[in-house]
Amino acid sequence: MKKTILRQYARLIAAKGGHVQKGQEVMIYASVEQAEFARMVAEECYRCGASRVIVEFEYQALDKLDIQKRTLASLSKMEEWEKARLQHRVDALPVMIYLESDDPDGMKGVDQKKLARASQARYQIIKPYRDQMENKYQWCIAAAPGAAWAKKVFPDLKKNAAVEKLWQNILFTSRVEEGGDAVAAWEAHNKDLADRCAYLNGLDLQTLEYKAANGTDFRVGLLKGTRFLGGSERALGSNIEYNPNIPSEEVFISPEKGVAEGVVYASKPLSYRGELIENFSVRFENGRAVEVHAEKGEELLKQMIAMDEGAACLGECALVPYESPVNLSGLLFYNTLFDENAACHLALGMGFTNTLVDYDQYTTEECYKKGINDSMIHVDFMIGTRDLSITGVTRDGRRVAIFRDGTWAF
């Protein structure tokens, strides 16, 4: 892949994704495979004026070894230096940049129950720090192709060819092209998403109803005083605009906890904790997932919705047109960052407090009491199909077409 286009992508991540400001600290999380690209992103962060860039390299195979060899007590414990690091993030509010590269099957064979219990224990310590940072910092999730991931997407290609092909598709779906201006392209894209949000927010919707030929027949309630968001967001306090996901095609809202009925069928596999869940359905009653089925990974899916009290409730409803660049690529990426932007999706677990109007006037706990779901997980799964229809019901009883034949009806 040409360095010129990778440089443009790195610039997009730093300048538009994280929107690094002069004097800000930046933390980059990347696979050891991506050392060179991580360096390029770090350079672009410094070009934006970052005071310090810290890169933490990760290696999925070592993470797997840890889970296999360490005791549950060891995995569950958080050392004092780890707590001090979390406190530093609360104090400094660094820009957080995550470069995804992992093998979708990279954790296959680990004891998922052990991992879940360790995660639950650590989350009790992490949550107070997380809540203090909620909405106050810039962050961006982007991707760079790991070799195993590339081979999963392109199994018939040799490793180097697969990596090159995945790079091409990552850049295409991220609106980065040779000789183009990716930052300007994202400014135009953000405006389009903002215009769609403005229309939806003007409807004062109370319910969304989903139907598709695969059996999806589902309705979900929306809180009064919530709003649709899409594209760029703004950090609370600093008001700095940033793009948390590259790519991103969604317009989303956090629904009302406890108001969801019916069944939804996944339209794409879900990669969760390094394993795939395939051909699955989720049935809701009184706002909770009460029954799940999957041809592959059903036990993992059941573990997921049992992680805590809020894991079986919805935290997000996202609208994505079927003709999005990700879907037009014709690929199944086996990575939620991309696959969720190919189709409408729902998310089990944590909701977004910033979807509440005037959320800055409330504490995080008050946002949850108003009906935004709280959980240690936030897992998106795709339900969009070519024939999906979504109808909105307004608070005064009008029925408005939102999606028809898998795409915008307005």
Please say if the pLDDT value at position 158 is more than 90. Answer: yes
What is the phi/psi pair of residue 62, to 5°?
A: -70, -40
Superfamily of domain 3-173: Thermophilic metalloprotease (M29) (3.40.1830.10)
pLDDT of residue 227: 98
Mean pLDDT of 83-87: 98
Does pTM surpass 0.95? Answer: no
What confidence tens digit (pLDDT) does each residue in 291-312 have?
999 999 999 999 999 999 999 9
Mean pLDDT of the chain: 97
Band of residue 403 on the pLDDT scale cut at 50, 70, 90? very high
Pairing, β 233-234 against β 229-230: unpaired
In this prediction, residue 128 has a pLDDT band, given cuts at 50, 70 and 90, of very high
CB atoms within 10 A of CB 296: 13
Structure confidence at residue 352 (pLDDT): 97
pLDDT digits (tens, 9 = 90+) for 315-365: 999 999 999 999 999 999 999 999 999 999 999 999 999 999 999 999 999
- 240, 138 Cβ separation under 8 angstroms: yes
* pLDDT single digits (tens) 352-382: 999 999 999 999 999 999 999 999 999 999 9
Q: What is the mean pLDDT of residues 82-91?
A: 98
- What are 95's strand-pairing partners? 26
- The residue-averaged pLDDT of 223-228 equals 97
Asked if omega into 247 is within 30° of 0 (cis), the reply is: yes
Boundaries of every domain in the chain? 3-173, 182-408
The pLDDT value recorded for residue 17 is 98
Q: Counting Cβ atoms within 10 Å, is residue 13 exposed (0-12), middle (13-18) or buried (19+)? A: buried
Mean pLDDT of 257-261: 97
pLDDT at res. 160 = 97
What per-residue confidence (pLDDT) applies to 71? 98
Strands (E), 121-240: 139-143, 205-211, 217-221, 229-230, 233-234
pLDDT value, residue 318? 98
Q: Is 289 helix (H, G, I), strand (E, B) or coil?
A: strand
Question: Please, is 67 exposed, middle or buried when counting C-beta atoms within 10 Å of its C-beta (0-12, 13-18, 19+)?
Answer: buried
Q: Report the 10 Å Cβ neighbour count for 262.
A: 17
Rounded distance between C-alpha atoms, residue 348 and residue 207, angstroms: 18
**Residue reference for tokens 């306090």:** 237
Q: Which residues contact 232 (CB under 8 A, 6 or more apart)?
A: 190, 194, 241, 242, 243
Q: What is the pLDDT of residue 1?
A: 85
